[in-house]
Structure 1
Amino acid sequence: MFSFFKRKKTEAEQAAVEQSAPEAAPSAAPEPAPAPAPASSQAPEQPSLLRRWFGANGQAEAPQAAPEAELFPETAERPTTEAERKTSWMARLKAGLAKTSNNLSLLFVGARIDEDLYEELEAALLMSDAGMDATQYLLDNLRRKVKEDKLLDPAAVKNALKELMIDLLRTLEKPLELGRHEPLVMMIAGVNGAGKTTSIGKLARHMQTYEQSVLLAAGDTFRAAAREQLMVWGQRNNVTVISQASGDPAAVAFDAVQSGKARGMDVVMVDTAGRLPTQLHLMEELKKIKRVIGKGMEGAPHEVLLVIDGNTGQNALAQVKAFDDALQLTGLIITKLDGTAKGGVLAAIARTRPVPVYFIGVGEKLEDLQPFKAEEFVEALLG
């Protein structure tokens, strides 16, 4: 932490100031100088970073955030209490998943518990992008549960499906743990248009509410204006951005890690160029960036996150597989669940490649990116 003090003027400087100052009115008595604040001999206490949790288990630990209206004017009217924020978040999440929710919920209205219901459920789950594996898993277990518990009421069958889906998605529920390393180095990947750079900006602001100092690296030197977009988020959050006008992205990442270590930062986030998993030469470049980050700090990157557009359906599962094979992903961020996203792809991920989902997003505002919680998600999906 830096402290800035006023330098005391020399006698010569003071005399020069008095000569250049306008002559005071005879009747005006000089005001007494304010008493200097007592100097503190003790440095301000720093928050402990040991085992700080950020995510599903960390909400209660979050300190009071600074007012966000100055940085994000669009959030000036956001709900003020925790209950209001939760209600607002659930309303937006339900609205984003409304299409799938309606398709599934309507099946249980006045339904008979027979083979026709299971066939309709199968079609609805497949339409929600759950995939064949997850759909078959849910239906097999639902049949078993209906038989064992002798369920005859459609509402009870619906609740049984909700419980099964929560249990399935809970394998993806994991908080992002801060304070394990100094700095914690995070590498962010994703295809173009997934909302990667915007998610980085939101994450930086969220981490600041947990008293984390953040440094960003503009490693996306491939896409036009990507560096400028990250610089805007850096200005909004008052965060330094390490960048080069036209440089090797691995070099930018290395410089950022070194700078983060030298400055004693808590978190360093490295943006990377968006690319399709079929672009093998670009995927090799991602591997190179990861290797170079490791040379800058042993064991880094500590988190390798993939940002996925929730509207891409089963293609999202293919992205998870490809990027996980190349980079060994530690977490996912699912964005844009406020559009035509169907939501079932999370079930497919849970069954096929259960990489933890750290955050989900339903819009452009800061509060539209929240930690993933299986129970909340299924409640929005099935009502």
Structure 2
Amino acid sequence: MFGFLKKSVKPEPAAEPARAAEPAAAPAAVEALQDTAAAPVAKRSWTERLKAGLSRTRQQLGGGLASLFGLRKIDEDLLEELEATLLMADCGVEATHHLLGELRKRWKRDKLETADQLQKALAEELHAILAPLEQPLDVSGHMPYIIMIAGVNGSGKTTSIGKLAKYFQSQGKSVLLAAGDTFRAAAREQLTTWGERNNVTVIAQDGGDSAAVIFDAINAAKARRIDVVLADTAGRLPTQLHLMEEIAKVRRVIAKADPSGPHEVLLVLDANIGQNALAQVKAFDSAIGVTGLVVTKLDGTAKGGVIAAIARQFPRPLRFIGVGEGIDDLQPFHAREFVDALFEPLPGSGADGAA
């Protein structure tokens, strides 16, 4: 699954000086992350968690893509079923037609006979679509490396920032968080609590101007020689043009604080919104120049095909995907393991080779 930029505007002075936020009561989302991170249980590998997370996608599709295949012969009925399944999986019309067109060519050219052979061909074609999105984020080129993070309310943006901070810490990087979502107190409290419990500095204000908070955070990161700045921004709907202009202002102010920044503009997308994700990518890209994506909540009722739709219609590097609530359940995107997980048979489906 715009262009309303006006002249550069300097941020208004903050209502009070930006400061490292005080400890706050832990919101439920942060408590869940902390409990998961602290639980002394054997962790499953990322591949296992990815397959488990995408199992709901396969269930949502009536047993998943794998249920279509087996020893049955390839015919037009099978191709029609496959087309419907891909559309249900939020692949979108353009990506679905591309995949079916390539499969028809291979069916004739390679003399494919069984549905299992068609499944292998589909996996290869899907991987070919997704592979260009696999571009890991390299934060070594600047200090601080400034990552501006945007998304609509409810996309999982603030929680993703906490997970990203933990990820970069695991890479040996120092991290500073800028609580630029000054319109939503819960977002500030969430980042504050995460920062206090994990020894990550959080620059925040009670209210005030988002751009001013992030401006101060970048200067603080420079003074402290921080490796990575994660700058939260207020949730925006693409249809709220005046609010999209405000987030464009934040981008301009970041460039004033550091002429080379922002070095990455990440858009967080909720996989459950399906084809609406495309509209969000286009709108935010027009306003702030999206350089990478984070797709969250693939473990819900989401149908992971929206990634194929994005790849065909508005490709942007897919930096990270999320398949759970745990602190480590946001990881870099790898096309091959994602495709393999999509085709993993459901237990007891009869497609896993069991007798």
TM-score (norm 2): 0.84
Whole-Å separation in 2 of the counterparts to 1:163 and 1:78? 36
Of 35, 42, 48, which residue of structure 2 is paired with 1:79? Answer: 42
Match of 2:323 in 1: 362
CA contact (8 A) 1:131 1:348 kept: yes
Q: How far did residue 322 of structure 1 move?
A: 0.8
- Report how many aligned residue pairs link the two structures: 310
Q: Is residue 313 of structure 2 the alignment partner of residue 352 of structure 1? A: yes
Match of 2:201 in 1: 240
Identity, % of aligned pairs?
Answer: 58
CA contact (8 A) 1:290 1:301 kept: yes
Match of 1:165 in 2: 126
Whole-Å separation in 1 of the counterparts to 2:320 and 2:65? 24
Of 62, 66, 80, which residue of structure 2 is paired with 1:119? Answer: 80
Match of 1:152 in 2: 113
Whole-Å separation in 2 of the counterparts to 1:354 and 1:101? 29
Q: How far did residue 94 of structure 1 move?
A: 3.3
Distance 1:190 1:103, change over 3 A: same
Whole-Å separation in 2 of the counterparts to 1:376 and 1:319? 26
Alignment of 1:329-340 (within 5 A): 329-340=290-301
Whole-Å separation in 2 of the counterparts to 1:252 and 1:272? 10
Of 155, 162, 165, which residue of structure 2 is paired with 1:201? Answer: 162
2:167 partner amino acid: H
Match of 1:327 in 2: 288
Whole-Å separation in 1 of the counterparts to 2:298 and 2:219? 36
Alignment of 1:282-321 (within 5 A): 282-321=243-282
- Provide structure 1 residue ranges, at least 5 long, that are not aligned to the other structure: 1-70
Aligned residues: CA RMSD: 1.5
Whole-Å separation in 2 of the counterparts to 1:112 and 1:156? 10
CA contact (8 A) 1:97 1:380 kept: no
Whole-Å separation in 2 of the counterparts to 1:157 and 1:91? 21
Match of 2:9 in 1: none
1:218 partner amino acid: A
Of 174, 183, 186, which residue of structure 2 is paired with 1:225? Answer: 186
Match of 2:143 in 1: 182
Q: With CA pairs under 8 Å and 6+ residues apart, which has the higher RCO, 1 or 2?
A: 2
Of 233, 239, 246, which residue of structure 2 is paired with 1:278? Answer: 239
Match of 2:55 in 1: 95
SS in 1 for 2:179: strand
Q: What is the CA deviation profile of residues 55-89 of structure 1, one whole-angstrom value per residue up to 9, with x for unaligned ones? A: xxxxxxxxxxxxxxxx9332324535xxx524532
CA contact (8 A) 1:359 1:370 kept: yes
TM-score (norm 1): 0.78
Whole-Å separation in 2 of the counterparts to 1:364 and 1:379? 22
SS in 2 for 1:311: helix
